[in-house]
Each structure stands twice: as C-alpha cells, then as structure tokens.
A and B are shown apart, each in its own frame.
Chain A
Amino acid sequence: MINGIDPNFAAGKLGGSTPTSKPTSGSSGFADVLKGHIEEVSKLQQDASKAVEDLATGRTENVAGVMTAMEKSDIAFKTLLAIRAKLMDAYDEIKNIGV
C-alpha cells in the first residue's frame, strides 16, 4: 500500500522551524567525532607499541602480526595528520577572506 504524501513533511525544513535549533543532548558534534578519532589512533599506536615490545622481549613470535599492527597505526596517524592539514588549510582560507 502506498501512503500519500504528507503536505507538512518539508515545512519544518523549509523555514517553518526556528533556525537556531540546539543539538539534542544525545547528538555528537564535530569536536566529539574528532576526539573519538584521535583516541582511536592513540589506541592503535599503543597496540603497535605493545606488539613490538612483546616481540623484542620474546613474549610473541608473530612477526606478521607486529608488522600489520605497526602499519595500521602508521596509516591511521598519517590520516589524522592529513585531516589536520586540511583543517588548517581551511582555517587559513577563512582567515584570508576580506570583510
């Protein structure tokens, strides 16, 4: 069964609601997303560091696992650096806009 189109469906989005709607308490902002990613990269780096220590101290002989963990943390860190560089570029661009 096909439902009819609600005439008030887009009314709120097109200007019916107040423009300064506050985010709800459950939603996460950009800062939270960035913080989460930084924590994730930090965790990957800690895991890689632990893997190398275990290999050096003879607790593990899983060379492939250690190399994979190192590569993962390296890629994650470089991704974070790239994001940071883009953000700084955007900030510079906004800074140079003439008022």
Chain B
Amino acid sequence: MFIDRLINQGNAPLLEQWMRFTEERHRLIAQNVVNISTPGYKPVDLDEGKFTAMLRDRADARRNAAPGRVRFDDIGGEASNAEHGILFHDGQNRSMEQLMTDQAKNALMHNMVVELLRRQFSSLEAALKERVS
C-alpha cells in the first residue's frame, strides 16, 4: 500500500494511462497502414477528445477524494471507425497523408509523455538517493 502510493503519487497514473493510450493508438494506426489496400477495410482510430474528457473527470474526482482512492486504470480509448476522407469504390476511405500525420503526431505525443513520466520518476529517485545525480 505504501509503495503503491509512493509510485502512483502526483500525475504518474495520468501519464501512465496517457502513455497506454498513445501506444494503443500507434498500434491501430499501424494496422490501418498495413490494410491500406484491403478492399472494404474501415480504418479504426481512438477518440482523443473522449479520452481526455474521461481523464479530466477522474482528475476532478481525485481532487476531493482521499489519496489513492481514485484510480485511473480503467480509462482507455474507445476504438471507432474513422469517418474522414473520400469513400472509394472498394468501400475504403483511405488517406495515407492523414495516417502519416496521425502517426507523426501520436509519436511526438508519446515521446513527450515518456519524457514527463521519466522526469517525475527521476525527481523521486533524487529524493530517495538524497544526492543530486
């Protein structure tokens, strides 16, 4: 319990969920790229707006709750068919440009979340070591 609270203090749980979201989204984008020539395939994507709204609600609930009571483990992205782009005759609404843009944006976001989480843990590590690294 003590270790759990130590590790999951501050924004670590939020960032962890965000990292899982970007990881899952990256997987879906890769799947969309692989199936770019598959007739009838509908690209799938995660809704970032819904995810951040869920995260926001949970963070607001945490503010008024006891420490460690509100958890973020169950928050995830909801996969849905991406409806942007032109619908081709084979039933696909492929857009390689859109996919590549999404992929680049998602990768940047993932790197940023990893960096934020790394910094948070490095501060904790410095406090435990009692020395500046």
User: What residues of chain A lie closer than 8 Å to B14, measured between beta carbons?
Assistant: 52-53, 56-57
Q: Are A85 and B56 in contact (CB under 8 A)?
A: no
B28 at interface by CB-CB < 8 Å: no
Indicate the size class of the contact surface on chain B: 20 to 34
How far is it, in angstroms, between the C-alpha of A58 and the C-alpha of B50 when the chains are bound?
Answer: 10
Q: Are A49 and B11 in contact (CB under 8 A)?
A: yes
User: What residues of chain A lie closer than 8 Å to B52, measured between beta carbons?
Assistant: 56-58
Q: Are B15 and A56 in contact (CB under 8 A)?
A: yes
**CB within 8 Å of B: which A24-64 residues:** 49, 52-53, 56-59, 63
Interface of A is mostly: helix
User: What residues of chain B lie closer than 8 Å to A63, measured between beta carbons?
Assistant: 112
Closest A residue by C-beta to B56: A57
Closest B residue by C-beta to A77: B123
Instruction: Identify which of B80-88, B89-97, B99-107, B125-133 touches chain A.
Output: B125-133
Closest B residue by C-beta to A88: B130
Q: 1/0 contact trace for B38-60 toward A, CB 8 Å?
A: 00000000000100110110010
Q: Are B130 and A84 in contact (CB under 8 A)?
A: yes
Q: Are B116 and A52 in contact (CB under 8 A)?
A: yes
How far is it, in angstroms, between the C-alpha of A70 and the C-alpha of B112 when the chains are bound?
Answer: 12
A contact residues vs B (CB 8 Å cutoff): 49, 52-53, 56-59, 63, 66, 70, 73-74, 77-78, 81-82, 84-85
A-B CB proximity, top 6 nearest: A58-B52, A57-B56, A52-B11, A56-B14, A78-B132, A57-B55
